[in-house]
Amino acid sequence: MKKEYDFSKLKKAEPKYLKHLKEPVTMRLDPQVIGYFKEIAEKTGIPYQSLINYVLKDYAAHQLEPSANWESLSTKKKRRA
């Protein structure tokens, strides 16, 4: 390994590579959910936000849908009317 590296000749990333960057979002998660992932993060050495991303990415890759018995927004609106 070199003692010094010359980064002066680096080029900016091309736009075709920029599409692979992650998009920052703000989410409201229950403290228990965050705690759960932080515990796993400590055990694995993987940042908890990366773990959450991995779980959601796997969920999407398998085209899973929530199995909870949630009502859709339109159903709730109809009941109130």
Mean pLDDT of 25-38: 96
> Whole-model pTM?
0.60
- The answer to whether 51 and 40 are in contact (CB under 8 A) is yes
Decide: residue 37, CB within 10 A, 0-12 exposed, 13-18 middle, 19+ buried.
Answer: buried
Instruction: Say whether pLDDT at 15 is over 90.
Output: no
Most confident of 18-32, 40-54, 65-79: 40-54
Per-residue pLDDT of 51-62, as tens digits, reads 999 999 999 999
Interhelix angle for 31-44 vs 48-61, to 10°?
Answer: 100
- CB neighbour class for 41 (10 Å; exposed up to 12, middle 13-18, buried from 19): middle
Mean pLDDT of 28-50: 96
